[in-house]
């Protein structure tokens, strides 16, 4: 009997994909699938400013207040989510947060009047990011330290695959009626939670419940390396969040509408989808702090190039530049937190880190809309460039401490095997 010839191309494909997606547990892939589903429906936040100023007739300042309220709620929600992930478990926290997000999203979509809209935005903010610390702690629970950058990179890739699709579809649907966006976002949030509940077992060790729900953060705050890293991340995220908060407003002033914004920002997802899998493994082997500092520099350059932009092509070109920086930084952003966090406080450490995202989203519309109103796009984008460069410099100063912690985690892992 003759041997069946092996297609050389299939061997090359296997060699390409094995080090990038192989060897990860089934629970991770269930979380990856749920994240992708949830991200495919993320249509409200990027278009919220346009929705509030056009459909609800709010002023620029009132729209900024609503988006800042959403960010303030997120600050509380991420802290609660981190504590609950340690206390009642990752699975339950993630399910409660995502299903609750779906319900609150509909409440925001049907709210009328500034008071009702602010109240609904606060509820959305409290629930929307509550799942983040639980999901990140879950990955740290089930993935070895040397594989965590790869796992977080795959999750980042799924987020941006969904993002790219959501931006194009959301821009088109917004022209038909913004309420479509709220319904799709609500259903995908709830779908994420139900998938986790059915497909992923609890990953928290039984003896890691720790202190009460809102206790235990003192130990996290005494970790100066972690606190410094979070503060640096706030500056970086403030810059990055301008793409979701003030960029559509700046494009509107240049005569560009929701469809233009959707097309331009979709370039971000397309580049991530195509480039990130090619560079993730290589970047993950480099010094984490230096990689993130390089990412911040590229992000600063990209947002600086937005200052003279006035056409769809110019905005898209600037987005392509800072997207390369986002890809670079995202390779190690969450892996650093996983290295810094002890097992019994993973939820709380990730809760504090998630506050950087919430804080960035809170400050982005407040600072961004003020800069846009007072100094125009140039003042906004050049300030963003300066903040990104400052974050890179601070990371270089913190790099030796982060490197020592990372080496300690690897040493402890290898000694226990």
On whether residue 156 sits in a domain, the answer given is yes
Per-residue pLDDT at 46 exceeds 80: no
Question: Do residue 195 and residue 107 come from a single domain?
Answer: yes
The CATH number that applies at residue 244 is: 1.20.1250.20
- Please state the length of the chain: 417
Question: Do residue 163 and residue 30 come from a single domain?
Answer: yes
Question: Do residue 44 and residue 177 come from a single domain?
Answer: yes
On whether residue 208 sits in a domain, the answer given is no
Per-residue pLDDT at 18 exceeds 70: no
On whether residue 52 sits in a domain, the answer given is yes
Question: Do residue 252 and residue 358 come from a single domain?
Answer: yes
Question: Do residue 379 and residue 277 come from a single domain?
Answer: yes
Domain boundary among 201, 230, 252: 201
Domain boundary among 173, 201, 229: 201
Report the share of the chain in percent with pLDDT over 90.
Answer: 34
Domain boundary among 174, 201, 228: 201
Question: Do residue 233 and residue 353 come from a single domain?
Answer: yes
Per-residue pLDDT at 413 exceeds 80: no
Question: Do residue 318 and residue 401 come from a single domain?
Answer: yes
- Max mean pLDDT among 53-62, 153-162, 324-333 falls in 324-333
Q: Which structural domain range is residue 268 located in?
A: 217-406
CA distance 324 to 391: 17
Question: Do residue 197 and residue 235 come from a single domain?
Answer: no
Cα 383–Cα 384–Cα 385 angle in degrees, nearest 5: 90
Q: In total, how many domains does the chain have?
A: 2
On whether residue 238 sits in a domain, the answer given is yes
Point out the least confidently predicted range of 49-53, 179-183, 235-239.
49-53
Around 234, how many Cα atoms within 13 Å sit in the side-chain half-sphere? 15
Question: Do residue 142 and residue 283 come from a single domain?
Answer: no
Under DSSP, the state recorded for 5 is: P
Per-residue pLDDT at 1 exceeds 50: no
On whether residue 210 sits in a domain, the answer given is no
Question: Do residue 136 and residue 267 come from a single domain?
Answer: no
On whether residue 7 sits in a domain, the answer given is no
Cα 270 to Cα 236, 278, 297, 409, distances in angstroms: 21, 13, 21, 34
CA distance 109 to 101: 12
Question: Do residue 126 and residue 254 come from a single domain?
Answer: no
Identify whether the C-beta of residue 276 lies closer than 8 Å to the C-beta of residue 327.
yes
On whether residue 221 sits in a domain, the answer given is yes
Question: Do residue 56 and residue 181 come from a single domain?
Answer: yes
Q: Region 356-384: what's the mean pLDDT?
A: 85
pLDDT digits (tens, 9 = 90+) for 76-100: 888 899 889 988 889 999 999 999 9
On whether residue 311 sits in a domain, the answer given is yes
- Residue 209: both structure tokens together: 């419940």
Around 325, how many Cα atoms within 13 Å sit in the side-chain half-sphere? 26
If pLDDT is split at 50, 70 and 90, which confidence band does 214 have? low
Per-residue pLDDT at 318 exceeds 90: yes
């Amino acid at each position: 009997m003759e041997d069946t010839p092996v297609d050389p191309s299939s061997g090359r494909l296997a060699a390409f994909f094995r080090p990038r997606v192989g060897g990860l547990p089934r629970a991770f892939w269930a979380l990856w699938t749920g994240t992708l589903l949830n991200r495919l429906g993320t249509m409200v936040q990027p278009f919220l400013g346009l929705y509030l100023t056009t459909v609800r007739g709010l002023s620029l300042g009132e729209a900024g207040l609503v988006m800042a309220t959403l960010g303030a709620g997120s600050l509380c929600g991420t802290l609660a989510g981190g504590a609950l992930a340690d206390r009642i478990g990752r699975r339950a926290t993630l399910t409660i947060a995502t299903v609750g997000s779906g319900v609150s999203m509909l409440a925001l979509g049907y709210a009328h009047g500034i008071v009702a809209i602010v109240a609904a935005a606060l509820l959305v903010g409290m629930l929307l990011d509550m799942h983040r610390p639980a999901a990140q702690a879950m990955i740290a629970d089930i993935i070895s330290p040397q594989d965590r950058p790869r796992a977080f990179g795959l999750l980042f890739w799924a987020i941006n695959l969904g993002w790219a699709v959501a931006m194009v579809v959301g821009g088109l649907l917004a022209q038909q009626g913004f309420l479509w966006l709220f319904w799709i976002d609500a259903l995908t949030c709830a779908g994420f939670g139900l998938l986790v509940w059915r497909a992923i077992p609890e990953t928290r060790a039984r003896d890691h419940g720790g202190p009460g729900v809102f206790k235990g953060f003192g130990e996290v705050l005494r970790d100066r390396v972690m606190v410094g890293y979070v503060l640096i991340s706030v500056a970086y995220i403030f810059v990055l969040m301008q793409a979701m908060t003030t960029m559509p407003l700046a494009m509107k002033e240049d005569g560009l509408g929701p469809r233009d914004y959707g097309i331009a920002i979709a370039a971000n997802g397309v580049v991530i989808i195509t480039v990130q899998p090619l560079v993730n493994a290589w970047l993950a082997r480099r010094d984490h702090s230096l990689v993130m500092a390089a990412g911040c520099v590229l992000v600063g350059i990209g947002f600086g190039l937005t200052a003279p932009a006035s056409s769809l092509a110019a905005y898209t070109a600037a987005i392509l530049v800072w997207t390369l920086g986002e890809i670079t930084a995202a390779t190690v952003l969450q892996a650093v937190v996983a290295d810094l966090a002890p097992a019994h406080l993973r939820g709380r450490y990730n809760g504090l880190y998630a506050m950087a995202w919430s804080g960035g989203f809170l400050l982005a519309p407040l600072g961004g809309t003020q800069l846009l109103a007072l100094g125009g796009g140039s003042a906004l984008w050049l300030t963003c460039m300066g903040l990104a460069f400052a974050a890179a410099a601070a990371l270089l100063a913190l790099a030796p401490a982060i490197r020592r912690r990372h080496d300690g985690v690897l040493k402890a892992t290898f000694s226990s095997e």
